Amino acid sequence: MTNPFSHSKQGSAMYVTPQVIRPRLEETARAVVPTRFGSFEMVVFRTLDALPGDLALSPEPVAIIAGDVHGKRNVPVRVHSECITSEVFGSLKCDCKQQLEAAQAEIARRGTGIVLYLRQEGRGIGLANKIRAYALQQEGADTVDANRLLGLPDDARTYGAAAAMLEHLGVRSIQLMSNNPDKIDGLRELGVEVEGRIPVLVPVGPHAADYLHAKRKRMRHILPSHLEAACAPEPVFCAPDAE
């Protein structure tokens, strides 16, 4: 039996650090889909490892791709977690739909890039828990405290599926379209080479102001405070950070 953490190389056994272990995914379908932002190649995957059964999360992460990304470096990538409330039903409590659409528009404008759509509703706690948290927020808790009152983590998202999809697609390094430094750290820990960050600054309405405030103050998101006042006229994309 080979010790997976052994440095000794015996035969074809390979040393694999915990950081590069991925969930196992298989590609199940692929087709070009026209969207109102432009055409994307949609690649559907299936997670082969067990998901937490009580959260009813979908096992089908999706990549939508513009341009030729195989073997490329500095590919603009949005790692986006499912938000059925805003993306399907138009909920105004968060800025997820605007961020997804801004990323699609920017990727289409650049002619290259990927949205990796991860099926972890409600920052990974599932739809039912998300709506339970909304009920607590109606009583005055913010998004972080509501999760804690339910005995749930502030953020249960994982990015292993994103790393696995990037590997499958042959992407060598990325520019992450995000305001969340924890996401950059999480991807780097999984072995993804993140060469820079492209901020995704979208205007939001008053219903999402509290959520953005909590993201900025309590979850380290890099967001200018003026966005909470819904005064940014258009999505803003800046040059990648030098840091």
> Which residues are identified as catalytic?
155, 157
> What does each C-alpha distance from 95 to 44, 84, 87, 227, 242 come to in angstroms?
24, 12, 9, 11, 26
Least gap, CB of 94 to Zn ion (angstroms): 3
Residues 6+ apart with CB under 8 A from 224: 201
Is 143 a binding residue for Zn ion by CB under 5 A? The answer is no
Q: What is the footprint of Zn ion within residues 91-130 (CB under 5 A)?
A: 94, 96
Contact between 83 and Zn ion (CB under 5 A)?
A: yes
Site string for Zn ion, 25-64 (x = CB under 5 A): ----------------------------------------
Exposure string over 184-198, b if 16+ CB within 10 A, otherwise e = bebbeebebebebbb
* Residue 241 DSSP code: P
Q: State both tokens at 180.
A: 């969340």
Cβ proximity to Zn ion: between 83 and 162 the closer is 83
CB of 79 closer than 8 Å to CB of 187: yes
Contact call for residue 175 and Zn ion (CB under 5 A): no
* Minimum distance of Zn ion from residue 195's CB (angstroms): 27
Work out whether 204 is an interface residue with Zn ion (CB under 5 A): no
User: Residue numbers of the site for Zn ion (CB under 5 A)?
Assistant: 83, 86, 94, 96
